Amino acid sequence: MSDQATAPDSIPLRADDPARMHTYSPATAALADDVIAYTLERFAMNPPPLDGPRTPAQLVDEAGGTITAAGLGGPAALRLWVDVLAPACISQDHPRALSFVPSAPTEASALFDLILGASSIYGGSWLEGAGAVYAENQALRWIADLAGLSAEAGGCFVSGGSAGNLSALVTARHAAAAVRTAAGLTRPTRWAIIASAEAHSSIASTARVMDIDVINVAVDERGRLTGEAFRAGIDALSPDQVDGVFAVVATAGTTNAGIVDDLMGVAEVAEERGLWFHVDGAYGGAALAAPSARSLFGGIERADSMVIDPHKWLFTPFDCAALLYRRPELAKAAHTQEAAYLDVLHDGAGPDEWNPSDYAYHLSRRARGLPLWFSLATYGTEAYCQAVEASLDVTRAGAELIDELGHVELLMEPMLSVLLFRRVGWEAPDYKRWSDAALVRGLTLTVPTTWQGETVLRFCIVNPRTTIDDLAEILATMA
């Protein structure tokens, strides 16, 4: 490949050349060497520094103004990133980054992100990115197979669970509206979806964007939405409310507690009532790859749509979420954008020419599924199964450790890879003081959460390099 590249010193560069930013000059070559050297150094860190945020005032003082008319120059800008800005960002791939849902990209996926950025690939249409789309669809097929979806299922990669949930529910309402129109019915007084209070915050956000209602139904003692509660919740609605319900959202791994809803029960009621069944598996759906957890997801194969985020527990860089539909033609009907300059993408296109822009609320898109594809192609699917299983093993061992210690108490046995626990005797300010100090020390990112009104702590374990020794050291500092 190198013999096809133009030698950098053969390209003149003038200060007044409007194309100078797009020319591979000797200065660009030197900058590339520096960037690659830093990148390789970062790859080799095991672990990387945890780092942490700075105040706005600190960053103003240390970084100052970074955008100028003449530019800082590549070396100075890179030094600013390495010395000031990067250390003000928490390393999500640190094995003790245990809050929110962190990310631990494989080496191959992160390396391929470099190629993706260097290649100027547009991932919205088959015409412009057929090779990329083909590869992305191979990765989507693997996820669809994990969930037990049919060969007709398909979708695209979007930026995250929020974008996926919005796109799926827009599709659901569009499909419901089409059915009503065909039956000669007008739109309902208010469109609505059914969900539980434990559903991800993006469901409420989606409802606001779509101007629809969210009807919350009761959960069981573990926080699960069950088919029985779903049916009871619908039966308690007025006829006018029932008329507007078009979908139910179940969660395959709640973010706060890692709880998997009663997917089979919810699927049965959804089918019985003619409702769209959407599964938000943004965090937990990755556990489909783990044999020990697969039985928790019975019923997911009946979903009309689902979201699973590879940037969470399938080890790809941000931002990457898999959005899948049982009948992708319904999504295409809802999301395909019409414009004269886009006609070429659809006129005369073959049945297998897939345009990802047709399956979500987006048009321009990065081929963000390629790092996952490259990692799967590099390591094989069995390596993924082992890595997800390893996180579950550490979580179960962590639960046992908490049970053995006297100063902490487990709130519930983990279903997936989240541990919720209290420090005996602590109140909300104690948790915050400990958490802040632990981050400053570089020990861990472990922030407080709440469970049933009580402030507690939470470990979310999705990094195969997180060990039981890591958890033990963190817990020991609370004694």
Domains defined for the chain, CATH in brackets: 2-85 (no CATH), 115-379 (3.40.640.10), 382-476 (3.90.1150.10)
**471 to 77, 88, 278, 287, 394: CA distances (angstroms):** 37, 24, 34, 21, 9
Confidence of residue 16 (pLDDT cuts 50, 70, 90): confident
Residues facing residue 323 across a β-bridge: 156, 307
pLDDT of residue 22: 94
| Structure-block tokens of residue 444 | 């861990």
| 290-334 pLDDT, tens digit each | 999 999 999 999 999 999 999 999 999 999 999 999 999 999 999
Percent of the chain with pLDDT over 70: 97
Residue 7: pLDDT above 80? no
Query: Dihedrals φ, ψ of 302, to 5°?
Result: -95, 5
Q: CA nearest 362: which of 186, 197, 160?
A: 160
Confidence of residue 403 (pLDDT cuts 50, 70, 90): very high
Is the separation of the CB atoms in 319 and 160 below 8 Å? yes
Residue 153: pLDDT above 50? yes
Question: Residues 6 or more apart from 239 whose CB is under 8 A from it?
Answer: none
Confidence of residue 11 (pLDDT cuts 50, 70, 90): low
Q: CA nearest 315: which of 39, 137, 112, 82?
A: 112
Residue 192: pLDDT above 60? yes
The edge-to-edge listing of strands for the beta sheet with 154-158 is 154-158, 321-325, 305-308, 276-280, 245-251, 192-196, 213-217
* Average of per-residue pLDDT values in the chain: 96
Q: What is the pTM of this model?
A: 0.96
pLDDT of residue 4: 47
Query: Dihedrals φ, ψ of 351, to 5°?
Result: -65, -25
Query: Strand pairing of 408-410 and 192-196?
Result: unpaired
Least confident among 140-149, 344-353, 379-388: 344-353
Confidence of residue 347 (pLDDT cuts 50, 70, 90): confident
Confidence of residue 6 (pLDDT cuts 50, 70, 90): very low
